[in-house]
Amino acid sequence: MPNIKVEDDLGSWMSLRPDMAPGLIALSDAVYGKSQLPLRVKEIARMRIALANECEVCRNARYEQGEEAGLDAAFYRHVLEWRTASIYSERERLAAEYAEGIALDHVRLREDQSFWARHRQHFSDAEIVDLALCCALWLGAGRTMRVLDVGQTCALVMSRNAQVEAA
């Protein structure tokens, strides 16, 4: 049950501040419609943040065409084992490490020169910013929805064309 007086769905909470909601919607549209990162790279970062946030809607969200991109049950089942699971590429591991760091210890991540050296070997500066903006949405919106306790029972199916459907 939500901690504010709204319908328990994904978007009703934003209707309480209609002059501010378009900003979050625009960021979401950019993340899901304009990111140039490969889907598996984005998805491991999104899921690592979802697990850190304990956001049920985020943890259960899946891409409509996910199986085609290799987003099978094993991909999701092993996210917390990103360091050792052989199913992830080096770029996917680095995306998970970034997401985990920004979610759990952003100051340590900022100062971890070893991480940045490895990250810059596999990501361009533009890709680093792309990942950072994606993670900003997932971390902020996911934690907000979890704390407000809104939409936690919704099923979310995402398409590659920035369309998000709640079931």
Domains of the chain: 12-166 (1.20.1290.10)
What does the alpha-carbon distance between residue 150 and residue 31 come to, in Å, rounded to a whole number? 21
Other Cβ atoms closer than 10 A to 167: 6
- Model confidence at 3, pLDDT cuts 50, 70, 90, reads confident
Mean pLDDT score of the chain, rounded to an integer?
A: 90
pLDDT digits (tens, 9 = 90+) for 29-60: 999 999 999 999 999 999 999 999 998 888 98
pLDDT the model gives residue 86: 97
pLDDT at 166 over 50: no
Assess whether pLDDT exceeds 90 at residue 119.
yes
Choice between 144 and 135, residue whose per-residue pLDDT is larger: 135
98 neighbors 49 (Cβ within 8 angstroms): no
Q: Are strands 62-63 and 164-166 parallel, antiparallel or unpaired?
A: unpaired
Distance CA 28, CA 141 (A): 9
pLDDT value at residue 156: 64
Does residue 32 contact residue 24 with C-beta atoms inside 8 Å? no
Answering whether pTM is above 0.75, one says yes
CB 159 within 8 A of CB 15: no
Q: Given a cut of 80, is residue 151 above it in pLDDT?
A: no
